[in-house]
Amino acid sequence: MSSPATAPPAPNNLKRIVAASLIGTTIEWYDFFLYGSAAALVFNKLFFPDSDPLVGTLLSFLTYAVGFAARPLGALVFGHYGDRLGRKKLLVLSLLLMGGATFAIGLLPTHATVGTAAPVLLTVLRLVQGFALGGEWGGAVLLVSEHGDARRRGFWASWPQTGAPAGQLLATGVLSLLTAVLSDAAFGSWGWRIPFLLSGVLVVVGLWIRLSVDESPVFKEALAQAEARKAARGGAAEKLPLVSVLRHHWRDVLIAMGARMAENISYYVITAFILVYATTSAGVSKQTALNSVLIASAVHFAVIPAWGALSDRVGRRPVYLLGAVGIGLWMFPFFALVDTGGFGNLILAVTVGLVLHGAMYAPQAAFFSEMFSTRMRYSGASIGAQFASVAAGAPAPLIATALLSAYGGSTPIALYVIAAAVLTVVAVGVAQETRHRDLADVAPDAEPEPAATSPAADARTA
């Protein structure tokens, strides 16, 4: 483990890079969460109208889960080319794919117009969304991590993570506004399309900002070293990033997957499934449930950088473990508060849950980035994060809804989240602390380098 060697970038340049990553992740999570909220509120009626209401919700969440199924494929494809071509190019592509798919959902005909073709088209566009998001996360956090000041990497890398609550805030806010000003009939007829069509405007803004930033200097240096090693070997190509990850970092991939379980499952139970549970079991209105998630998401956005900064002081593992243990302990009080039906209790339940979630989510960006070497970092971080989402976030609302249907209460759902928390505690508990790692370290499968030829190389050698 070597000490950080790269000099901190200029503050203005770093802020622009953080802004580019944040605006992109906000837009992509807005698109993703908008679908989740719409799945809970209207898609069951518009695309699965012949089903029982709860069955229709299950089918709606099934198309929601399909997006997660495409995320590992996106992680593999974007990770491979991101480690070969650079972070920036792939981030632009992911933004275009996600925004285009979301805009197209706003134009979709419903079941009443085209019959069974409607849910099929919806599922295809959901697959495109998931594929794009599978490549977005890794590139966004790496672009900041590899530019940022090593001493404050947890803080700066946590800002792209705020794109999740910012996107949730934006998506829920738009839906809440529309449900407040439109009648149920108008919202179900055409109002639900407006948030999806707004994505087109957001993508233009995101592209303008994202195209203005530079490629990661750590990646450019690693690429130059890789080209030099290739020339020294007579033009022999490097191993595929995926092969290198599975050879040198398989343990880190498993740790990342385990670390994601409680974080991913709890988030979708707290923000997506709660819209179903609060309105069906607790007798809360749709507007009240949306408003509680809206308020809690604002708090979530604010605490993530604070948790990231704390991880720079005490380490990634202690903060992550605090969040995992806390979310497990909170589940029974969470549902007890929701069951009262009071707006204040609902806000308290969701807000505390998201604050504890933030303790896991904030250090995750730096933690996962520091696990992997530069030439396989995009692949490793993306694979670890997105493969876990298939078993965690993808079925979470579906499993929670099925448990509610089968048992008629919240106890099995709380136990489901607690089991995920135990798994995360074990995974993070066996991980090594990564706070002091140098992201410019040479990949483990690289040949030994000759004597240093640059001041930066001399510093790392020392």
pLDDT (tens digit per residue) in 329-388: 999 999 999 999 899 999 999 999 999 999 999 999 999 989 888 778 888 888 888 888
Structure tokens at 394: 């993808």
Whether 3 shows a pLDDT value over 70: the answer reads no
Distance CA 348, CA 121 (A): 38
Q: For residues 156 and 264, is the Cβ–Cβ distance under 8 A?
A: no
In the block, tokens 């695309």 appear at: 47
* Inter-CA distances, 21 with 42, 101, 355, 373, Å: 31, 20, 22, 21
pLDDT-derived band at 8, boundaries 50, 70, 90:
low
Q: Name the DSSP letter for residue 214.
A: P
On whether the CB atoms of residues 107 and 193 are closer than 8 A, the answer is yes
Mean pLDDT for the stretch of residues 248-253: 86
Report whether 274 contacts 293 (CB < 8 A).
Answer: yes
The answer to whether the beta carbons of residues 16 and 212 sit under 8 Å apart is yes
Which of 27-31, 153-157, 217-221, 237-241 has the lowest average pLDDT? 237-241
Structure confidence at residue 330 (pLDDT): 97
**Per-residue pLDDT at 395:** 84
In the structure, what pLDDT confidence band is assigned to residue 187 with cuts at 50, 70 and 90? confident
The pLDDT assigned to 367 comes to 94
